[in-house]
Structure 1
Amino acid sequence: MPEFKRAVIASSSEKSDVEKLERNLKQLRKKLRGLEMQKRKLGTELDNLDVFDEDYDKRYEKIQSALDDSYDKVDEVEKKISIVVGKIEAVNRGVRAADNIEAMLDNFEKLYEKMSCEERRQMYRLFIERIEVFPEEKTDGRILKSISFRFSISYGEDGLIPEGNTESDIRFTLDCTKTELTAAEAKATYAEIKKYIKDTYGANIHTLYIAQIKRKYGLDMGKNYNLAADPKKRVPQCPKNKEKMLLEALKHFKMIDTSVEIMESENVNDEG
């Protein structure tokens, strides 16, 4: 996530040279004032021409030509000013959007916890552009090769972006070969967990116990194995010694962090 944030901030800063744009705007406005003064001066000269002067027609044509040229230059500079003002506004909107993205990333874990499954799927569709997987199974269990993210920022019609395009994308590709295995990649099947415990401890583990411990440590939010089919029957709870075996197995398969310690609880399936 820190690499992702740095990419968003760097991409935003490339578009946000507001000071340079404002200097350009100041120069254009100064040039416009000069052209406006020249235009007024030429207009005054034209008005003060003596119609009885023998060179009147020649002087009139010369001043009128200069005046027309002055009007054209004023229009050109005004157009440039309009474009620069639009760029500044667009860049500022882009910076605010990047700030919002950064704030979202800062609070992503809290937001994610409160999202429903459908909201999470919608988020994936919005932000994930492409997921690349390894063509063949890796010996370390890796599946993901890279994930490409895209955040679209609307700038409007202001000349900042190519004509016909109203979006500027902040893109970032996460190289998964340089990151730790994700829980999804390291996820072991119930059969694999049973086999590991059998090979390591010589013990047999019931599927019910695996589900209970996975739920207890936040890994399994599916079927509630604490509920018996018959409400009059009590569901057996995973013994403490087998919970320790399962916890070690989950660490082995990198499904939980190695720093996780056994949790004291009367009910291993307590949803709190």
Structure 2
Amino acid sequence: HSLDHEHILSGILRCPLCGSGMYGNVNRKKKKDGTLYKDYFYYACKHRRLVDGHKCGYRKQWSEEKINNAVEEVIRKLVKNPKFEEAILNKIGSRIDTEEIEKEIEGLEKQHRQLTGAKARLGQQMDSLDIMDKFYEKKYQDMETRLYRLYDEIEGVENSIEEVKNRLLNIQQQKISEENVYQFLLYFDKLYDKFTDLEKKEFLNSFVEQVDIYEQEQPDGRFLKHIKFRFPVYFGDRETQELCWDNESTVECVVKMVHF
């Protein structure tokens, strides 16, 4: 650990064997005169137990600088694409389609009004019963049973309204989160290098969900295998949440765009 250093992709980078998050570590050695060599920061697998009970055997240590730079370069290539900027600007401020959810809320609220109205009318009927009527007790019990049933139905509808409204709120908050990330991406190339390691880590965690690598560097020098983003990204004429170097339909476009 170093006070000035953050393991930027810790947990996001995945072990190529067991798929668990790889975590940052530091190799710190002393020289004969007691001074320290330059810290070497690396990502390594925690060797979690697999389904068969054995521990993951992946021992390779990847330089944090090498992995971080490769992922950053992918994003730089994306944001420098003119079509990417055009698509981002179209995305920002665009209206999210919540019509179905709003109709669902409207229907539930109408149902709630009908039930509360029925409850009020039933209460009035109970108050107006003739206590001298020989069937008073039976009528009152029947109405009371109906009243309790209405209370249960009203509670169920209220719970449904709250659940649907929370769903709508989550969609709206997700939209805001996406727009914040998109706004930053427009200025990524100008701002990213000025960030502290902690700020870089926070941003990449908000934008990148998962980074997969090959077990070893490929003959052509590539080692990134797959990047999954939390929000859609744009390149060429496509919108996607994933870049996969194993996908033949994707690899040609991405390889032309990104060289390591």
Q: Give the TM-score of the pair, scaled to structure 1.
A: 0.49
RCO higher in structure (CA 8 A, sep ≥6): 2
1:66 aligns with 2:66: no
Match of 2:168 among 88, 106, 125: 88
Aligned-pair Cα RMSD in Å: 3.4
Secondary structure of 1:53's counterpart equals: coil
Following superposition, the deviation at residue 120 of structure 1 comes to 4.1
Distance across 2 between alignment mates of 1:148 and 1:24: 32
User: Of Structure 1 and Structure 2, which has the larger fraction of its residues in strand?
Assistant: 2
SS of the counterpart of 1:180? helix
Residue 128 of structure 2, aligned match among 35, 41, 48? 48
| Shift in Å, 1:81 | 1.1
Whichever residue aligns with residue 255 of structure 2, its letter is E
Moved more, 96-105 or 129-138: 129-138
Tell me the CA shift for residue 85 of structure 1.
1.6
Q: Which runs of no fewer than 5 residues in structure 1 stay unpaired?
A: 152-170, 186-272
Structure 2 vs 1, CA of residues 38 and 113 (structure 1 numbering), >3 Å: closer, same or farther?
same
More helix by share: 1
**Aligned residues of 1:25 and 1:85 also touching (Cα < 8 A):** yes
Alpha-carbon distance in structure 1 between the residues aligned to 2:229 and 2:243: 8
Partner of 1:244: none
Deviations 1:13-57 (A, max 9, x none): 9xx542211111111111111111110111011011111111112
Alpha-carbon offset, residue 129 of structure 1: 2.5
Q: Partner amino acid for 2:178?
A: A
Query: In the alignment, which residue of structure 1 is the partner of 2:53?
Result: none
Question: Which residue of 211, 221, 229 corresponds with 1:130?
Answer: 211
* Matches of 2:117 and 2:202, distance apart in 1: 58
What is the identity, as a one-letter code, of the residue corresponding to 1:37?
G
**Letter of the structure 2 residue corresponding to residue 129 of structure 1:** Q
Give me the identity figure in percent. 28
Structure 2: distance between partners of 1:28 and 1:100 = 32
TM-score by length of 2: 0.51
Give the Cα–Cα distance (whole angstroms) in 2 for the partners of residues 35 and 22 of structure 1: 20
Note if 1:180 corresponds to 2:247: no
Partner of 1:21: 101
**Does the CA-based 8 Å contact 2:211-2:224 persist in structure 1?**
no
How far apart in 2 are the matches of 1:102 and 1:172? 13
Residue of structure 2 aligned with 1:100, choices 172, 176, 180: 180
Deviation at 1:93, TM superposition (A): 0.6
Larger radius of gyration: 1
Task: Number of aligned residue pairs: give it.
Answer: 160
